Amino acid sequence: MSNHQVTDALNEQLSCELGSWYSYLAMSAWCDRQQLTGCAGWLRAQAQEEYTHAMKIYDFLLARDVEVNLTQVDPPRQEFANIVEIFEWALKQEKENTQRIDTLFQLAMEQKAFASLVELQWFITEQVEEEQSARANLARIKMVASDPAAILDFDNMLGDRNLPMDTTAH
């Protein structure tokens, strides 16, 4: 891969995916401290997905014989007012990630980086799913936010998520 703009943007996206991983871990820890273990588990699984996304980019760069440029990941937000704010933050994060992926796809199109376009198509499809899931969780928690028993039911529902802790790229 000879296009430095696309390479730099992919390396930046790698760092952003690792930042999302770190952010979801922080949200998971907050939920765990609040005894919302279902939400904590769901968010931890989501963190694992973000890590897997980062490794997908990492592996792509290596396969293309491009230098992987790992940068420092900023500390994530760790305090939240309530469980609704957790899921608002998750949706905000996913929307920002979608914008970055779209911008990266546009750059790859402009630079005619065809292999990158194919790789990024997977991320575009994935972001549709990620935003849909984040919107659904936020809508559900907003519906029940004033009912502690319903929050516990929501927590139990999210606790049913079964995601393997596989760190290999898709």
User: What would the pLDDT profile of 22-34 be if each residue is shown by its tens digit?
Assistant: 999 999 999 999 9
115-158: pLDDT as tens digits: 999 999 999 999 999 999 999 999 999 999 999 999 999 999 99
Q: Which whole-number Å values give the CA distances from 63 to 1, 20, 59, 70, 120, in the listed order?
A: 10, 23, 6, 16, 15
**Hey, is 57 helix, strand or coil?**
helix
pTM of the full predicted structure?
A: 0.91
| pLDDT at position 170 | 43
Residue with tokens 């890590």: 51
Are 146 and 29 a contacting pair, CB within 8 Å? no
Across 108-114, average pLDDT: 96
| pLDDT at position 160 | 86
